[in-house]
Amino acid sequence: MLIGLVRESVMQCFCHTCRAPIPAAAVHRRNIPITKVKTKPRTNQPKRVQFVTTEVRCQEKTRGGVRYEVILGEPEVKAAPPKKPLSPKNSVSVQDIEEKLKAAEERRQQLESSKIAALSAKMQKIEEASRKKDEQTTQFITATRDALEQKMGTVTEKREAYISDLKTKLKDHIENVEKTRLSLEQQTDEVRTAIEEKLKTATIQRDENLKKMLERLKEHNSRPFEKQKSVESTIESRKSEVINLIENKLCIAEQIREKVIQKKVELAKKHNEHLNEVKQTLGNRKSEQVNKIENKLTAAEQKREQEMQKKLEHIKKHEKHAELVRQNKAVLAAKAPSSG
């Protein structure tokens, strides 16, 4: 906005007396108003105040163009338009008010009458609808009753037919059962007779087999006595053989035991001899070790006595030296007061 005002002030005359209009060619294309489509109504905004240039200072030319300073003047404030005086109110008479009230009462009565007429029409429609509904319900009830009666009749007929069919089927079934029962009884009689015949034949065969078994048992009982005698003879012979073998083995074992005892006695003798030799060697070694220890003890005792003598001699020498020192100190102490 400020740039536009500056441009307008520059394009005007600099004499400040005349207000030459801006030529049309001098208007820049950016300042051309653009017509926009009005979509929403806009509120009335306050008008902008136009600033007028009063002075231009420090005009200089540079490479990029012209540089100058512009001083703006005070804005022109337009006076507000005067308010229109209020028109006086018209006076209303009592007759006008009564006429208006009468007209309002008539309108109210007309509205009430129209409402009552509409309500009566609605009530008539409701009564007609209820009457039609009652007629339809009665028709529906009669129709459903007739249909149910027809269905019940058909159901009873079907039930009777079904029962008759069941009765016939049951009769046929009972007849078939009776026939099968008779046939089963005949078959059982035949089977019973066949079983009795088989049992008779089985008993006869069993008796014959028992007789044969008894005969065989008698023969078998006579045979074991002969076998028993032969077995006893063999057992006695084997007993004698076993006894002889046992006696021979016992003799051999006795001989072996005596040999083992002799060997053990010899080993014991050798062991005793070896023990005696070991004891003798141990005694000799002990005596040798005791002698060595005694010799070492005597040598150690001698060394200890020699060391004690050396220490005593050293102590005596030290005491003599201390005595000499003590005497020298006494002499020096005696000389000191005399010299003083």
DSSP letter for each residue of 32-96 = S-------SPPP-PPPPPPP-EEEEEEEEEETTEEEEEEEE-PPPPPPPPPPPPPPPPPP--HHH
Amino acid at 11: M
**DSSP conformation class of 29:** G
**DSSP conformation class of 31:** G
Helix (H) / strand (E) containing 255: helix 94-339
Token pair 């001083």 is found at 71
Distances in whole angstroms, Cα of residue 33 to Cα of each of 29, 39, 159, 176: 9, 18, 101, 118
pLDDT of residue 267: 86
pTM of the model: 0.24
Instruction: Give the separation between CA 147 and CA 141, rounded to whole angstroms.
Output: 10
Instruction: Give the separation between CA 315 and CA 323, rounded to whole angstroms.
Output: 12
In order, the DSSP letters of 97-125 are: HHHHHHHHHHHHHHHHHHHHHHHHHHHHH
Positive/negative CA dihedral, 195, 198, 204, 208: negative
Distance of CA 138 to the CA centre of its chain: 69
Q: Which residue numbers in the chain have pLDDT < 50?
A: 16, 19-27, 49, 51
Is beta strand 53-62 parallel, antiparallel or unpaired with respect to 65-72?
antiparallel
Distances in whole angstroms, Cα of residue 198 to Cα of each of 129, 195, 204, 205: 98, 5, 10, 11
Residues listed for the chain: 340
Distances in whole angstroms, Cα of residue 298 to Cα of each of 214, 273, 286, 295, 308: 118, 38, 18, 5, 15
Residue 229 in tokens: 């005698």
Q: For residue 12, what are the contacts with CB-CB under 8 A and spacing of at least 6? A: 19, 20, 22, 53
pLDDT of residue 96: 86
Instruction: Give the separation between CA 279 and CA 287, rounded to whole angstroms.
Output: 12
Instruction: Give the separation between CA 102 and CA 97, rounded to whole angstroms.
Output: 9
Exposed e or buried b per residue across 77-103, where buried means at least 16 C-beta atoms within 10 angstroms of its C-beta: eeeeeeeeeeeeeeeeeeeeeeeeeee
Amino acid at 154: T
pLDDT of residue 73: 64
pLDDT of residue 141: 92
Q: Residue 50 in contact with residue 5, Cβ under 8 Å?
A: yes
Instruction: Give the separation between CA 15 and CA 40, rounded to whole angstroms.
Output: 45
